[in-house]
């Protein structure tokens, strides 16, 4: 148990250590000099931390206030509290599922033509977390719970990145990595819709910007301005509904005003984007060449499945356009569907930015500006229905968590597993 807990908690449970060890093994298998192994391993770890620092700035310091505002505008009392602490009570089961699923992924990649290896560290934990929660909600326990969650986790780690592979190749023009992240559902929808209604010749990345507005080509600046506008709109909506923005966003207690809060959050978004893209460049520059050692020696032809921000640099305009479009369409969908679901859905800010952001970049590759906008309108509606319907399968476990992080593969695959768990 000590060895098992060490592997689960100290390696698989730590994305930085896990991805750095993968890079180290790949470099060793290529018989690189010690100095190069050390440099590549540490640079991979640093790149991973830089990437996650950027995403943390975006979710924790820039867009957190958006969710807070909507939680006040839409009655939080209707959101059921979690009755089972899945992370605390089922930690060992989650760890076992992680190890078993990753082993199955490696074996499958070696023996079949589907060659992706799932390397997104934190998602190695969150998918077992979701599948264990769906099983517990349906009343499963013991070996049946672990077995079903392991099957679904392994299936996801095999199927989703391989479905994403041609989409990523369409965007990047390269064949050396894919995406291992719960964006697959939204990305497939985006590709299909954009291909149907759009024109790839009119790319979001080629939008004509007057010279006087040339600064808008910097995604960090565009993102900061966008977030600032969102907060200004929410400020007046809160006042119109009888709320004090200073109390909702807690800046009154800091003896500052809305101006400071607005500027701080807008700049944090820009900083987060800048840091995140820097981490992406560092990570890709190291992990892809290092992974060739594993591909050559252990799993011939294997390609790494990585976190979705690794694709953001290929379509920064698409990312911002997709984020805004999905935020608008999902919010409208929430406002016109009250009482339709057994929970109150709040705008899925994180999903609109990360999972839908990846989907928007893919939509642009297939259908340009028009395809991106229409696809992300559809995605905004889809994510709301996935979270709403998912409440039937997570209401006693992680429903409050899903209100923030659901609306994509977590919800869809969790619903499917919940249906099967109910039959068992």
Tens digits of residue pLDDT in 43-99: 988 988 888 888 788 877 887 888 788 778 766 544 455 567 787 788 788 888 988
Average the pLDDT over 382-409 and give the result: 90
Look at residue 77 in the predicted model and tell me its pLDDT.
41
Place of tokens 């309108």: 377
Is the pLDDT at 182 greater than 70? The verdict is: yes
Look at residue 387 in the predicted model and tell me its pLDDT.
94
Structure tokens given for 94: 């989650």
Look at 166 and 26; give whichever has higher pLDDT: 166
Look at residue 217 in the predicted model and tell me its pLDDT.
62
Look at residue 279 in the predicted model and tell me its pLDDT.
84
- The span from the CA of 424 to the CA of 421, in Å, is 5
Mean pLDDT (the chain) is: 87
Tens digits of residue pLDDT in 199-248: 999 999 888 766 666 665 676 787 788 889 889 988 998 999 899 999 99
Which of 48-57, 364-373, 401-410 has maximum average pLDDT? Answer: 364-373
Range from 5-9, 93-97, 126-130 carrying the lowest mean pLDDT: 5-9
What is the percentage of the chain residues whose pLDDT exceeds 90? 48
Place of tokens 């939080």: 76
pLDDT band at 284 (very low <50, low <70, confident <90, very high): confident
Look at residue 226 in the predicted model and tell me its pLDDT.
81
Range from 9-13, 39-43, 69-73 carrying the lowest mean pLDDT: 9-13
Q: Determine the 3-state secondary structure of 224 from DSSP.
A: helix
Structure tokens given for 386: 């996935």
Look at residue 371 in the predicted model and tell me its pLDDT.
97
Look at residue 215 in the predicted model and tell me its pLDDT.
61
Structure tokens given for 421: 């768990």
Look at 74 and 326; give whichever has higher pLDDT: 326
Is the pLDDT at 265 greater than 50? The verdict is: yes
Look at residue 258 in the predicted model and tell me its pLDDT.
94
Look at residue 377 in the predicted model and tell me its pLDDT.
97
Determine which helix (DSSP H) or strand (DSSP E) holds 117, and give its type and residue range. strand 116-118
Look at residue 376 in the predicted model and tell me its pLDDT.
97
Domain positions in the chain: 2-423
pLDDT band at 311 (very low <50, low <70, confident <90, very high): very high
What does the angle CA 180 – CA 184 – CA 186 come to, to the nearest 5 degrees? 145
Look at residue 75 in the predicted model and tell me its pLDDT.
61
Average the pLDDT over 171-193 and give the result: 95
CA atoms in the 13 A half-sphere facing the CB of 200: 15
Look at residue 147 in the predicted model and tell me its pLDDT.
95
Place of tokens 């994305």: 15
Is residue 379 within 8 Å of 186, Cβ to Cβ? yes
Average the pLDDT over 173-185 and give the result: 93
Look at residue 224 in the predicted model and tell me its pLDDT.
87
Tens digits of residue pLDDT in 132-159: 999 999 999 889 999 999 999 999 999 9
Look at residue 78 in the predicted model and tell me its pLDDT.
46
Q: Is the dihedral of CA 399, 405, 409, 410 positive or negative?
A: negative
Average the pLDDT over 31-48 and give the result: 90
- Does the pTM surpass 0.85? The reply is no
- The span from the CA of 344 to the CA of 78, in Å, is 6
């Amino acid at each position: 148990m000590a060895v098992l807990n060490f592997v689960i908690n100290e390696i698989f449970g730590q994305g930085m250590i896990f991805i750095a060890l993968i890079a180290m093994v790949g470099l060793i298998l290529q018989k690189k000099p010690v100095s190069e192994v050390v440099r590549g391993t540490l640079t991979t770890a640093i790149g991973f931390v830089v990437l996650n620092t950027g995403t943390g700035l975006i979710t924790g310091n820039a867009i957190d206030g958006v969710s807070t505002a909507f939680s006040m505008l839409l009655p939080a009392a209707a959101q059921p509290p979690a009755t089972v602490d899945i992370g605390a009570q089922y930690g060992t089961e989650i760890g076992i599922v992680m190890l078993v699923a990753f082993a199955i992924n490696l074996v499958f990649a070696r023996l079949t033509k589907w060659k992706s290896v799932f390397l997104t560290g934190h998602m190695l934990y969150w998918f077992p977390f979701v599948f264990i929660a769906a099983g517990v909600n349906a009343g499963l326990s013991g070996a049946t719970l672990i077995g079903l969650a392991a099957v679904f986790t392994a299936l996801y780690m095999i199927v989703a990145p391989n479905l994403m592979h041609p989409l990523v190749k369409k965007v990047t023009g390269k064949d050396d990595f894919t995406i291992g992240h719960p964006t697959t559902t939204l990305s497939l929808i985006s590709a299909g819709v954009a291909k149907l209604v759009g024109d790839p010749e009119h790319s979001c990345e080629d939008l004509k910007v007057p010279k006087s507005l040339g600064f808008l080509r910097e995604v960090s600046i565009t993102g900061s301005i966008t977030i600032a506008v969102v907060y200004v709109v929410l400020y007046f909506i809160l006042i119109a509904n009888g709320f004090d923005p200073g109390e909702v966003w807690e800046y009154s207690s800091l003896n500052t005003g809305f101006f400071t809060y607005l500027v701080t959050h807008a700049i944090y978004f820009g900083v987060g984007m800048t840091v995140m893209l820097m981490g992406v460049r560092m990570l890709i520059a190291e992990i892809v060449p290092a992974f060739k050692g594993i591909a050559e020696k252990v799993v011939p032809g294997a390609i790494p499945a990585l976190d979705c921000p690794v694709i953001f640099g290929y379509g920064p305009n698409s990312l911002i356009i997709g984020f805004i479009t999905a935020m608008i369409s999902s919010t409208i969908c929430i406002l016109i569907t009250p009482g339709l679901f057994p929970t109150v859905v709040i705008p899925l800010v994180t999903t609109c930015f990360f999972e839908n952001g990846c989907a928007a970049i893919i939509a642009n590759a297939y259908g340009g500006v028009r395809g991106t906008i229409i696809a992300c309108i559809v995605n905004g509606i889809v994510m709301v229905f996935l979270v709403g319907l998912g409440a039937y399968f997570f209401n006693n476990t992680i429903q409050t968590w899903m209100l923030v992080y659901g609306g994509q593969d977590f919800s869809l695959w969790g619903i499917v597993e919940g249906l099967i768990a109910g039959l068992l």
